[in-house]
Structure 1
Amino acid sequence: MTLTHPDTTVTAREAFGLDTDLVVPSFNEPDEHVPDIDADYRFNPDVTRALLAGFTRNRRVLVQGLHGTGKSTHIEQVAARLNWPCVRINLDGHISRLDLVGRDAVVVREGQQVTEFQEGVIPWAMQRPVALVLDEYDAGRPDVMFVLQRLLERDGKLTLTDQNRVLAPHPSFRLFATANTVGLGNLNGLYHGAQRLNHAQIDRWNIVAALNHLPADDEIAIVQARVPHLRDQAGRDLVSSMVAVADLTRRAFRVGDLSVLMSPRTVISWAENVEVFGDTALAFRLSFLNKCDEAERPLIAEYFQRCLDHELDESATELDTAA
């Protein structure tokens, strides 16, 4: 990294379309850790404000929301427009304290095997102008998560007990996290592996932003941008119906009628598979319906019929069984 501090600024109005005069520090040139800009990405105004507060004021920001809402991508796309180096790590159940902090390792120096300390991702990132994103924060093991306890405090220092060192964070180090829950565990059975987190640690996050699904018009625009063969008016009409199906599954999920929902990611896959198979119903089945519980498929088929005026086999099967 050639630059250690932001050397320019951008306005939130120009870079993110926000109705504000906020000026955000940024880097003039990207390096290898800066994400690629997705010109078609649509920013959620409230979440973007929260993330910009994280970059501008060094606030710790936790983004919470259902799967497929684009939590990690949102952080990456903000970093991309600021040319801010960004590193993501997934806190799955196999991540240990040694992975995060570091460990002794045997290396070869001048033909001799020696033991030396190799930094984990947290010490590496916090000594550099890097935005560290802890993905699936609520999937990390509770005993491992205590490594982050002091890092979330105001001074943000990290103690390396094996090295008898205390690391102070780089002035341009930033910390973010994404989670499906807010540390309450797998309450509805949807997110297996989600852990109950220590409330004292959750309380240390300065900002908790909730990211929900996009408005229908924005989601339609994103799907059309991702799938070029649907960019004409007929394609927009089809995508509009597909997004309507997705919205019905999300409403049913909220009230407990369904145990699954269609994420924007799934809608994009469905649209792409329409081109692959040349059949909207088959693409829907292969992209989403086959992932669902058999008992719930008739209801989903009803949503499909309602929005696309086409009967799926699941509806007929259910009616025959009932008769």
Structure 2
Amino acid sequence: MTTQQSSHRAIREISVRQVFGLDTDLTVPAFCDATEHVPEIDAAYHFNHDVTLAILAGFVQNRRVLIQGLHGTGKSTHIEQVAARLNWPCVRVNLDGHISRLDLVGKDTIVLREGRQVTEFQEGILPWALQQPMALIFDEYDAGRPDVMFVIQRILERNGHFMLLDQNRSIAPHADFRLFATANTLGLGNLNGLYHGTQSLNHAQLDRWNIVAALNYLQPEDEVQITAARVPQMDNEQGRQTIRKMVDLANLTRKGFEAGDISVLMSPRTVITWAENRQIFGDTGLAFRLSFLNKCDDAEKELIAEYYQRCFEQELPEAFVGTLQA
């Protein structure tokens, strides 16, 4: 992969094999020095092959990349960890219901100048990010309000200028500005009831994303390695055996969710939280209850308790499960 040389910061070539652990001879450019908004490197992070290549294409070739996947798969973190290794500044914006058009574009504000109140235009997130080397990530892209989405559509064209209508000013994007987004549903809306607040996306806008990647859950052994790295007290033979059982149970919940048997599933994030809570409470069953079981519907707890028994070969205390149906 190649890219246009930045006129502001020194660039060096790095090996994708050495830095990201992928089976490829590709090299990519990276900034030599980290700046204020560069994310911290997580040495334990596991990179998905296809998604990493998609994200690298976004950074190196200035492609607009949208990553879709269930919650807890690490979509935004994946982009951040690629940016961290490229020393690329990166900012995440969550498109919840409180983010408005004015937040993105900017608005007039009253400020004090030489003791007098004057009205000045304060740039929003988009003009600020566009004018510097910055990777802008829109989290929960499919939860954005319609007026916000149409503002974003203006910058989805490669090197497209952003027009500040209130200022009669056109902003050309910086050569090192990059745009990413993450979504749970990929514009299909809340079909399964799992992601309340998501919207059906305009397909004309979806069509403007150059690359759409899917990030699914990890292979079991990879999930074990990541969990052990996050909870180093369990990074031993006995601890890893327990983590494998945790991951097996998580995969049962995922299969149960796909089959429609249960309405909640365990994400890799939940597995890590379970392992952390186990260290706090010293009890695997109690930690399971506090990390996952209490989130589940009462009618589903019996089946989830059965998952626990199959993986750990012991009954989950009835007090943890509540009143079970016969």
TM-score w.r.t. the length of structure 2 is 0.95
**Paired position in structure 2 for 1:159:** 163
Matching residue's letter, 2:270: T
Shift of 1:143: 2.2
Cα distance in 2 for residues equivalent to 1:315 and 1:301: 11
Distance in 2 (alpha carbons) for counterparts of 1:319 and 1:195:
37
Query: Where does the alignment leave 5 or more consecutive residues of structure 2 unmatched?
Result: 1-5
Say whether 1:220 aligns with 2:220.
no
Q: Deviations over 1:143-198 (max 9, x none)?
A: 22100112001332111100011111001000000010111111111001101111
Secondary structure, counterpart of 1:133 in structure 2: strand
**Are 2:275 and 1:271 equivalent residues in the alignment?**
yes
Is residue 22 from structure 1 mapped to residue 26 from structure 2 by the alignment?
A: yes
Distance 1:49 1:253 in 2: 29
Conservation of the 8 A alpha-carbon contact between 2:100 and 2:147 = no
Q: Which runs of 5+ in 1 are unaligned?
A: none
CA distance in 2, matches of 1:125, 1:4: 16
For 1:154 and 1:320, how far apart are their aligned partners in 2? 56
SS at match of 2:288: helix
Separation in 2, partners of 1:24, 1:261 = 37
Which of residues 266, 290, 299 is equivalent to 2:303?
299
- Contact kept in structure 1, 2:58 and 2:65, CA below 8 Å: yes
* Secondary structure of 2:19's aligned partner: helix
Check conservation: 1:66, 1:180, Cα contact below 8 A: yes
What is the CA deviation profile of residues 100-130 of structure 1, one whole-angstrom value per residue up to 9, with x for unaligned ones? 0111111112222111111101110011000
- Within 2, Cα distance between the matches of 1:155 and 1:266? 39
Question: Which whole-Å CA distance do the structure 2 matches of 1:261 and 1:189 have between them?
Answer: 13
| SS of match in other structure, 2:182 | strand
Which of residues 248, 257, 282 in structure 1 aligns to 2:286? 282
1:51 maps onto 2:55 in alignment: yes
Distance 1:159 1:77 in 2: 31
Q: C-alpha separation between the residues in 2 aligned to 1:183 and 1:25?
A: 33
Secondary structure of 1:152's counterpart equals coil
Mark the CA change 1:317 to 1:252 in structure 2 (over 3 Å): closer, same or farther: closer
Q: Deviations over 1:23-82 (max 9, x none)?
A: 212110101100000000000000000000000100000010000000000000000000
Matched residue, 2:200: 196
CA contact (8 A) 1:64 1:178 kept: yes
1:240-280 CA-partner distances (Å, limit 9, x unpaired):
00000001001111121111100111111111111111111
TM, length-normalised to structure 1: 0.96
Alignment pair present for 1:131 and 2:135 = yes
Instruction: Please identify, of 123-132 and 222-231, the stretch whose mean Cα deviation from structure 2 is larger.
Output: 222-231
Deviations 1:264-317 (A, max 9, x none): 111111111111111111110111001000111111110100000111245998
Partner SS for 1:151: coil
CA contact (8 A) 2:257 2:265 kept: yes
Matches within 5 A, 1:1-323: 4-5=8-9, 7-314=11-318, 321-322=325-326
Q: How has the CA–CA distance of structure 1 residues 203 and 315 changed in structure 2, closer, same or farther, with 3 Å as cutoff?
A: farther
Question: Aligned pairs, how many?
Answer: 321
Please give the alpha-carbon distance, in whole angstroms, between the structure 2 residues aligned to 1:144 and 1:213: 30
Q: Helix, strand or coil: the match of 2:167?
A: coil
Q: Answer yes or no: is the 8 Å Cα contact 1:91–1:140 preserved in 2.
A: yes
